[in-house]
Amino acid sequence: MNGILVMSRDLKLLVTSNALRNFGYGMMEVLFVLYLTDIGFDAIRVGAFIAATLIGSALLNLTVGVFADRLGRRRLMALMTMIMILAGMVIIFSKNFIVILLAALSGALNFTAISTGAFVGLDQATMPQLSPMESRNRIFGVYNTAALLARMGGALASSVPKLLEGTAEITLVGGYRLTLGIFVVVGVISLACVGSLSSAIEVDRKKTGSSRKLFSLVRSRRTVMKISALFGVDAFTSGLVANSLIVLFFNQRFGVGAEVMGPVYSLARLLQAFSYQIAVRLADRIGLLKTMVFTHLPSQFLLMALPFAPSLSVGIGILLLRQGLAHMDLPTRQAYITTIVDPEERTAAAGITNLTRNLTQSISPTITGFAYQALVYTVPFLFAGMIGVLYDLGMYLSFRRVVPIGEETRLSDGRL
């Protein structure tokens, strides 16, 4: 059965609003560092901006984990979307370092990763209660595939400024600003989708009463803290080689801009979308954890090879192969974390794991910024790859005996 056929109206709205945001993030992912560089910021400050987006996202994830089920998921989603719109306007109209830094700290500009924003935390906590158990993995696959395809469109749109340059006396920076205006527009449409969600997305308040402790975790606390620590290690390595920083690497190493990297990342997103569909089907056969680890591990070696690429074409080839493998664990990871905890603890679990990822990921972009400023390009890639290998092995050894809800049934039926 195709996951899309069993999706309720609320699920479709969640998928659509997430896809719209990711279209905007796809543009930001390519244009943000190039735009900031062109208006005069050096690699260290660009790294600081990216770190700020992750710190802000961490704070927003903290808010989600503590308050979402008390204040209401719809209300919080709408508030975060409005912050996203405002932050986008600040990026377009301001050249002031502090003002842009504050916009980055808002938490709504986490375009560096598709999987750790506060929006995603809320969505992944909500989707299992709206999804039939037998369609759970496929629905997570549809959700992430739609986001990736939208990011692909956004990455393609990032090549528009170069096309606009010289047209009607539009400068490259002016083209950047006009294109980034689309980010604000998709934010407004996403807000309309969030406003149309029903009360079915809210958690049962009887199960999350005010007596619950921080993050509403009771029985799952130990499991969530353990997996959060591992996810934090993975996120630290991701921050060292965030996509925006890879764009900057190609810009400084090979002299290419958005006109090349936009289409490259569009193709990369297409490969990722295809890999998601393979991942969710593989998870139905061998299990979520094995799919997460065994597809993620090879990408670490490709990452370590990237800075040694002798030419632009070889570098792009390695990047595309790596992107096709590196994110196959995303839909399975989201499904895994929400099915190894009690249903009423899903929002808290998603909030904590995403908070941990954001906090650790926020440290590393500045480190890469210093490395790039010193023209030492290989260190972040090698460091990230080696730590990533240890993360994958640690993940498998730590959780190989933890079976998600619903997976044990397929195991007993011989389907895993």
* pTM across the whole model: 0.69
Sequence-distant (6+) residues with CB within 8 A of 403 are: 287, 411
Choice among 77-86, 91-100, 211-220 with the minimum mean pLDDT: 211-220
Cα separation, 388 vs 79, in Å, equals: 35
DSSP type of residue 139? H
Average pLDDT over residues 82-107: 91
List the one residue out of 235, 239, 237 whose CA is nearest residue 227: 235
Choice among 56-70, 138-152, 381-395 with the minimum mean pLDDT: 56-70
**Would you place residue 13 in the very low, low, confident or very high pLDDT band (cuts 50, 70, 90)?**
very high
pLDDT for 391 beyond 80: yes
**Residues constituting the chain:** 416
- How confident is the model over 110-161, as pLDDT tens digits? 776 665 577 877 887 788 788 777 777 778 778 888 888 898 888 888 888 8
Share of the chain above pLDDT 70, in %: 90
What is the pLDDT at residue 416?
47
E-only strand ranges, 97-205 = none
φ, ψ for residue 393, nearest 5 deg: -65, -40
Is the C-alpha dihedral spanning 84, 89, 91, 97 positive or negative? negative
Cα separation, 369 vs 203, in Å, equals: 41
List the one residue out of 137, 70, 204 whose CA is nearest residue 339: 137
- Residue 416: CA count within 13 A, CB half-sphere: 18
198 SS3 class? coil
204 or 63, higher pLDDT = 63
What is the pLDDT at residue 5?
53
Domain regions of the chain by residue span: 10-198+241-408
- How confident is the model over 18-58, as pLDDT tens digits? 999 999 998 888 888 889 888 888 888 888 888 888 888 87
Radius of gyration over every alpha carbon of the chain, rounded to an integer in angstroms:
20
What is the pLDDT at residue 160?
85
Average pLDDT over residues 315-331: 88
**Would you place residue 315 in the very low, low, confident or very high pLDDT band (cuts 50, 70, 90)?**
very high
What is the pLDDT at residue 14?
93
**Would you place residue 384 in the very low, low, confident or very high pLDDT band (cuts 50, 70, 90)?**
very high
* Helix, strand, coil share (%) of the chain residues, nearest 5: 80, 0, 20
3-state secondary structure 257-270: CHHHHHHHHHHHHH
Average pLDDT over residues 88-97: 91
Average pLDDT over residues 308-334: 89
- Residue 252: CA count within 13 A, CB half-sphere: 22
What is the pLDDT at residue 191?
95
What is the pLDDT at residue 89?
93
**Would you place residue 210 in the very low, low, confident or very high pLDDT band (cuts 50, 70, 90)?**
very low
Give DSSP secondary structure letters for 285-354.
HH-HHHHHHHHHHHHHHHHHHGGG-SSHHHHHHHHHHHHHHHTTHHHHHHHHHHSSS-GGGHHHHHHHHH
What is the pLDDT at residue 411?
46
Phi-psi region of 170 (alpha: psi -120 to 50; beta: other; left: phi over 0): beta
What is the pLDDT at residue 1?
41
**CATH number of this structure's domain 10-198+241-408:** 1.20.1250.20
Choice among 39-43, 208-212, 251-255 with the minimum mean pLDDT: 208-212
Average pLDDT over residues 65-72: 75
In contact, 319 and 271? CB cutoff 8 Å: no
Instruction: Compute how many other C-beta atoms are within 10 angstroms of the C-beta atom of residue 403.
Output: 18
pLDDT for 410 beyond 80: no
Cα separation, 64 vs 77, in Å, equals: 9
Residue 412 one-letter amino acid: S
**Would you place residue 304 in the very low, low, confident or very high pLDDT band (cuts 50, 70, 90)?**
very high
What is the pLDDT at residue 219?
67
What is the pLDDT at residue 204?
65
Cα separation, 386 vs 237, in Å, equals: 9
Share of the chain above pLDDT 90, in %: 25
- How confident is the model over 167-182, as pLDDT tens digits? 777 888 888 898 889 9
Average pLDDT over residues 245-266: 87
